[in-house]
Structure formats: structure tokens, C-alpha cells
Amino acid sequence: LEVVPQFIDKGNTLGVLMTKLSVLPEEVIAIGDGVCDVTMLQLAGVGIAMGNAEDSVKACVDKTTLTNEEEGVAIAVERAILAEIRPAEVPLDQLNMRARHALMGNLGIQYTYASEDRVEATMPVDERTRQPFGILHGGATLALAETVAGLGSMILAKPDEIVVGMQVSGNHMSSAHEGDTVRAVGTIIHKGRSSHVWNVDVFTSTDKLVSSIRVVNSILKKK
């Protein structure tokens, strides 16, 4: 039993909220399961009924999700919002900012490009990433490759999946010297349901190939 003031319902309350926030109906998704939710579901650009909703409610909406016992709201959010995020919209500046205190930031790694099949990043050859005698440390190069492949797999993974590194191996063909900035280019060569395989080539600023690295990521379902 829900008790509300006369002439007040979820639909006109949503309307007031949209006006205050300057939000258009097509920018709103509403999820409900009861008859009292119908006006709200019809006002929203996308109305989604829970799987346990009455048939009269389901008849008034655009989509139906699973029941409340099957995490129907989470599924609706994943399908209607998260699945719509495109690789071109990946906020590289935000990713770089958030990682400034992690390994990536400590090594000076910066993402510069990201798509579904290619990711690029740069890393300076300085006191953080060089060997004592002034050339790029192989371990830092592998960390750069894993960073690039990790983002690539995260772009490809579904909303209910996580990415963990499984294997990394590389061949170092030449050196990069202190003061230079190397560029890593990662391309996916295998996209499986449970694993991704990436090839990451690392170049100097003059496009000399320094290392070629193979990274294998495991794709796991969130628990």
C-alpha cells in the first residue's frame, strides 16, 4: 500500500525533477514493477518493467528486464547504459589522471589512443624507467605492454566481466636511451570468450622497434 497526496504520483514527480535538472525525457530511464509506476515509466524516454511486474505494467513499457530476484535492475543498467559506451568515448585524460599514483603513473605512462582493436601509450625513458647505465629497463617495457593490453581488454570486455593478466613475454631487439620517450602500440590478435591475446610493439621517438611483446589476458565473470 502506497499513500501519497492527492494528484501526486511518480510521473508528475519525475516531471518536476526533470524540470529542475533541465533533463529531457529522452535522457531518462525509469524502472518499475507496480501499477503506480506506470505514469513514471511512460514519461521516461525508456521505460523498463521488472520481470516480476504485472502484465498490465509490461504492456506500457519499452523493455522488460529480469525479476528482482535475478538482479533485474543491474541487468537493465548494463544493457541500457553500460553497453552503450563506445571505445571512442573512453576518457583517456581521466584514466591518466586517476592512475597518477598507481604503477602506471609512477612510470610516467600516458594513454594516447584507444579503440576496440588498438591501444597506444607513451612512457619516458628517465630515472624511473632506465637501467643504471642509461637505457630503457626491460621490466618497465613489459609493464608498459601490460598497461596497454589491459586497457584494450577492458574496452572489449562485457559489463559483467573483469580482466586479469595471465602471461606476458617479450623480445627486446634494441635499446632506447635516457631522454627519449617510447611509444607502445597494442593490437589484438585473438579475442576469445575467456582470453584475449595482444601483440604490443614498443618504438623509440624515431620509430625504431625496441621490443615486441605478447600479452595474454584472462576474462572472468564478476562474482
Q: Is 69 a catalytic residue?
A: no
H/E element holding 26?
A: none
**Chain mean position to CA 149:** 13
- Which residue in 2, 146, 161, 178 is the catalytic one? 146
Specify the amino acid at residue 211: S
Backbone angles phi, psi at 157, to 5 degrees: -70, 150
Sheet (strand 110-114) strand order: 110-114, 118-124, 181-191, 195-203, 209-221, 161-172
Q: Which one, of 29, 27, 33, 37, lies nearest residue 4 by Cα? A: 37
The helix/strand/coil state of 20 is: helix
Q: Which residues are catalytic?
A: 146
